[in-house]
Structure 1
């Protein structure tokens, strides 16, 4: 298969590209704005890295031409404010998926795998959730009923693994702070291993029965955020006490982080997402052929 992987140099994308290239059966195109981030992908068999802007329709058409499948993994955690969300979320989570789906139709690409998120909801509490929900709606609107192909949507809970920005963040904080103040400590989530996400997507790629379905992806156990933070601190060799903070105080803390240069450790929108538990409605779909990996099985080895 000839596969276009958008967002292929990211945390999930790098592993998915490596998985798909493993058998040497696929030709994989990976467009990126930051060529240096994906240089190590070039050594993989069948992988071509290209410096392209996927937010341009003409570029998307060129990249899609001759492809059998497209995979969209683009997502952001932070963005400017707006109603129902700011322009950053709109561009990455709504407009881009719509453009990708439209390009699939124009170029006759038969399969589209789209990465959404558990809790995606056009009426959700956070800009992140609302934009992810609208992105799903855009994909469905463009490709529902299309006889030449089909979409599959994936909704993972928070994804963990080596080099993630979740468990590693808490481990780093534990090295520097004597205690860990935490808003939303009682929010429940079901962390899913990055390798399991990749395996699920690879399984769905060749399965026509996966067309028109949205899959929730979660690990084998539900934790509170406070429990995850406490475990990450302990596994990093710096056990710390977690101090649950009132949400109001947490929002002031997040506002301070937002004012600092660079990506914030936590934003007010992140806290809004914690208003709803991030837990799957049931076990992972059997057709994905994935036995979920526990957080405690993998995280201690890299933290």
Structure 2
């Protein structure tokens, strides 16, 4: 396997925590672009990993960091908009800027993170992912697009979030309880990207739907998390009218735990039709098998975080 120089955007996020060690294990030289290098210096202990401070929204800066690279991996994405970041800025405008910078820097290969059902449904999140994909496909680059369903793992927005919410209240009112999804382990997503990096020709100009082997409703997943944590909580599905109201109210809270756009995303089933993992020769992890391990690890991580915060 050829050793490559890879520039990663968004690698300090959730998926990046799985992908960076996986790519480093293959011996690739990794350049991670971050707004604040000092906050992520620990990543540099991995072999052949360099963390650089960069404004990824500045095309000139991207060109400088991209020069000499074999490929760029764009993992940048947000689930909720803020006053500082919109879906248009983060998903669409940034992707167009990355494409332009690749062309100017002479980088021909782009790996683009997207979402299952991108461009479908009513949510602005999915619409913006679709627009970004269209820009990538219209470019002259050799691209690969990854469309994962809901991604889970340690520190995710699924198991970790609902585990924390279930611990806080005796009743969990749940919007869109019948929403369908096929959750995929972050390690499987990372393995898919790593294999496409290693075999660039076979995966060039292809889109891979990435989803797990089991399909659940949101209510089933939340109840499974509850049971794995040993909690006694009622999970009550809300009709859409109340679910929409809940989304409007929670969207006003700090951190936006649930928004109206999240509600709209749940109206589109996150279930695929073409098994990208199988196409890449990857045997997917089962959600029900990993769940007890991840719930236990999340509990231990909270204990460690609490201990670190205690005065000495």
- TM-score by length of structure 1 reads 0.92
Q: Distance in 2 between matches of 1:141 and 1:239?
A: 51
Shift of 1:283: 2.5
- Residue 110 (structure 2) pairs with residue 112 (structure 1): yes
Aligned to 1:204: 196
Aligned to 1:131: 128
- Residue 294 (structure 2) pairs with residue 302 (structure 1): yes
Structure 1 consecutive aligned stretches of length 4 or more whose deviation exceeds 4 Å: none
Unaligned runs of 5+ in 1: 144-148
Q: Distance in 1 between matches of 2:147 and 2:176?
A: 21
* 1:259 counterpart SS class: coil
- Residue 11 (structure 2) pairs with residue 8 (structure 1): yes
Aligned to 1:44: 46
Give the number of aligned pairs: 291
Check the 8 A contact 1:98/1:142 in 2, yes or no.
no
* 2:80 counterpart SS class: coil
Q: Distance in 1 between matches of 2:39 and 2:82?
A: 24
- Residue 233 (structure 2) pairs with residue 237 (structure 1): no
Q: Distance in 1 between matches of 2:287 and 2:279?
A: 22
Shift of 1:110: 2.4
For the aligned residues, what is the CA RMSD? 1.6
Unaligned runs of 5+ in 2: 296-312
Aligned to 1:155: 147
Distance 1:34 1:252, change over 3 A: farther
Check the 8 A contact 2:146/2:207 in 1, yes or no.
yes
Shift of 1:206: 2.4
| CA-to-aligned-CA distance 1:277-296 (integer Å, 9 cap, x gap) | 11011323534221111111
Shift of 1:87: 6.3
* 1:151 counterpart SS class: strand
Aligned to 1:250: 243
